[in-house]
Structure 1
Amino acid sequence: MNIEKYRHAKKQDIHLPEYDTNQNDGKSEKELKEKTIPERVSKLKELHWKLFAEGKKGIVVVLQAMDAAGKDEAISYIFSNLNAQGLKTTSFQKPTDEELNHDYLWRIREGLPERGQIGILNRSYYEDVIAPRVHDLLDGETLPDETDKDLVWSMRYRQINDFERYMTENGFAVIKFFFNMSKEEQRKRLLERMKNPKKNWEFSFQDVEERKYWESYQDIFEDMLENTSTEYAPWYILPADSEWYSRYIITEVMIECLENLDPKFPEISQENQEKLDHYIEKLEKEGE
């Protein structure tokens, strides 16, 4: 797979209607589900164990999308197969009163990984440059008196870029996935959730209400992608109508990232190797 065609690592004009939301490069869902993805997840799991064992670097994974685009399913089918000790998953909703009493990046700290971990942010700090713009909620936040509200979003883009640079320079790779889903596909998925008793729990009436703001969301997504795509923290735009192919892309991106980090199992010291050999011999004799 050529993952570069999904990668955006520099500021450029982005028009989401130009991006195909339905793509599979000739791979059938059955092939992806039963063969390709399980094999590649096995490779990802092996690399993740090395990352955890080495304990020197970490990865921040941002999942950003409209409702029903496939974020939760990506977590279930890919990341849930990894070593639980080396995985941290955090979901972000509307800010609480306590969170609003801090700077907007404050609440993200609890979701950041330790060295040796992959931290999954199911939605993220990017919510603070999306929802407040769509619903004009900035007046509900406390900003310094000298802040020009017309410049808040460009300021936050700069701060987010700086934050992501800070993370990468401190040993934490930042990978961001945007699930580019069509409005028609979302309609079908929401209907499935509403009609299927086993999926009713996934449905929220707010999901349908938010569809009224679809165009506003798309405009803001484009602005966000244009202003926060960087070499050190690229965005990957996924063809989210194709759920299994999107999961395949995510898996390949994660493998590439880990291979670039090149984690290794720690080597035992000579002193400990001699001690280990002694205890191996001792336990083997017990079995004789």
Structure 2
Amino acid sequence: MQAAQSALHPRWSAWQPRAGQAVSLKDLNPGAKPFSLGSKAEDKAAVEALAVELDALQNLFYADRRYKLLVVLQGTDTSGKDGTIRGVFGRMSALGVHTVGWKAPTEPERARDYLWRIHQQVPAAGEITVFNRSHYEDVLVPPVNGWITPEQHRQRLAHINDFERMLCETGTVVLKFMLHISKDEQRQRLQERLDDPSKHWKFDRSDLTARAQWDDYQRAYEQLLAATHTPWAPWTIVPADSKTHRNLMIATVLRAALQGLQLRYPPGDPALEKIKVE
């Protein structure tokens, strides 16, 4: 299962945490474009071409049925999770791809362990599931707001590693992307939502509360990235001030992961060769 992840290492290792080392998001430029082909037009064309390739790979993935794929998109407000889903996964058939958007847990969900609701939504054989936010909210929001103790925080990070290891050992490929934007870029995107009436539905006053806690959330991200980047469920930090480059980088990583699985169509029934459709 880790063969798919190992294919990711050479080209974008600079954007992955180092085992046993602290992560500093300040040292990673959110405006960088390490995968850019040159112009924005060239990058857009590359994203479109990759989307077509990914659609074909998804069809093969669905037919193969040996694996499941969980893609985690995590990032601050306005970091581009919705845009990534449209740009990277929009060409794929709904037959084998679905998205789960995570909100604050409901009362029935709070009455159970915090991973209970997550486990119900992981992909089945042949499926690709995209998490828009994820179980990582449970090691971001509670510690930033002081709802859990440091010891409980450490326990949750360990729980998540064990949970993802179990998924991997039972046939799930786990790819995790942290969409890394700058504070100034977030300001601009939030203001656009306020200035454009058609985008008001995207704006929530809680976005401003979280923005006021920017530094606390950055530290929480640094902690979880260092603690939960594993060989079985690696993180890739995606510089996301550029929406086009964000999609290009994620689509490239996703293609490499799928190609690394050496997917194949199941053997056909020999009896079918004798059937003639009248």
Tell whether the structures are fold-level matches, with TM greater than 0.5: yes
- Judge conservation of contact 2:143–2:150 (CA < 8 Å) in 1: no
Shift of 1:9: 6.2
**CA displacement, residues 197-217 of structure 1 (integer Å, 9 cap, x when unaligned):** 222221112112211100100
> How large is the Cα RMSD of the aligned pairs?
1.5
Q: Give the alignment of 1:76-91 within 5 angstroms.
A: 76-91=86-101
Letter aligned with residue 53 of structure 1: A
Shift of 1:80: 2.0
Structure 1 residue 193 and structure 2 residue 190: aligned? no
| Cα gap change, 1:185 to 1:60, in 2 (>3 Å) | same
Q: Distance in 2 between matches of 1:42 and 1:2?
A: 22
Q: Please identify, of 191-200 and 97-106, the stretch whose mean Cα deviation from structure 2 is larger.
A: 191-200
Q: Give the alignment of 1:93-112 within 5 angstroms.
A: 93-112=103-122
Partner residue of 1:12 out of 7, 21, 24:
21
Q: Distance in 1 between matches of 2:276 and 2:252?
A: 41
- What TM-score do you get using the length of structure 2 for normalisation? 0.92
Shift of 1:110: 3.0
- Judge conservation of contact 1:89–1:121 (CA < 8 Å) in 2: yes
Structure 1 residue 2 and structure 2 residue 11: aligned? yes
Shift of 1:4: 2.8
Shift of 1:220: 0.6
**CA displacement, residues 113-143 of structure 1 (integer Å, 9 cap, x when unaligned):** 11101111111111111100111223xxxxx
- Judge conservation of contact 2:47–2:251 (CA < 8 Å) in 1: yes
Shift of 1:8: 3.2
- Judge conservation of contact 2:17–2:23 (CA < 8 Å) in 1: no
- Judge conservation of contact 2:160–2:228 (CA < 8 Å) in 1: yes
Task: Describe the SS at the equivalent of 1:111.
Answer: coil
**CA displacement, residues 38-72 of structure 1 (integer Å, 9 cap, x when unaligned):** 11111111111001011221111111110000001
Rg (Cα) greater in structure = 1
| Cα gap change, 1:9 to 1:232, in 2 (>3 Å) | farther
Q: What does residue 268 of structure 1 align with?
A: 268
Q: What does residue 222 of structure 1 align with?
A: 222
Structure 1 residue 67 and structure 2 residue 64: aligned? no
Letter aligned with residue 254 of structure 2: M
Q: Distance in 1 between matches of 2:208 and 2:224?
A: 23
Query: Can you give the 5+ residue segments of structure 2 that lack an aligned partner in the other structure?
Result: 1-9
Q: What does residue 235 of structure 2 align with?
A: 235
Q: When the two structures are aligned, how many residues end up with a matched partner?
A: 267
- Judge conservation of contact 1:9–1:233 (CA < 8 Å) in 2: no
Q: Distance in 2 between matches of 1:241 and 1:273?
A: 53
Q: Please identify, of 216-225 and 4-13, the stretch whose mean Cα deviation from structure 2 is larger.
A: 4-13
Structure 1 residue 134 and structure 2 residue 131: aligned? no
Q: What does residue 51 of structure 1 align with?
A: 61
Q: Please identify, of 123-132 and 23-32, the stretch whose mean Cα deviation from structure 2 is larger.
A: 23-32
Q: Please identify, of 197-206 and 179-188, the stretch whose mean Cα deviation from structure 2 is larger.
A: 197-206
Structure 1 residue 152 and structure 2 residue 152: aligned? yes
Q: Distance in 2 between matches of 1:24 and 1:220?
A: 25
Q: What does residue 42 of structure 2 align with?
A: 31
**CA displacement, residues 204-255 of structure 1 (integer Å, 9 cap, x when unaligned):** 1211221110010011100000100111111000111121111111101111
Shift of 1:100: 0.6
Query: Can you give the 5+ residue segments of structure 1 that lack an aligned partner in the other structure?
Result: 139-148, 284-288
Letter aligned with residue 137 of structure 1: W
The 4+ residue runs of structure 1 with deviation greater than 6 A are: none
Task: State, as a whole percentage, how many aligned pairs show the same letter.
Answer: 33
Q: Distance in 1 between matches of 2:121 and 2:102?
A: 9
- Judge conservation of contact 1:161–1:228 (CA < 8 Å) in 2: yes
Shift of 1:269: 2.1
Letter aligned with residue 97 of structure 1: E
Q: What does residue 251 of structure 1 align with?
A: 251
Q: Distance in 2 between matches of 1:64 and 1:179?
A: 6
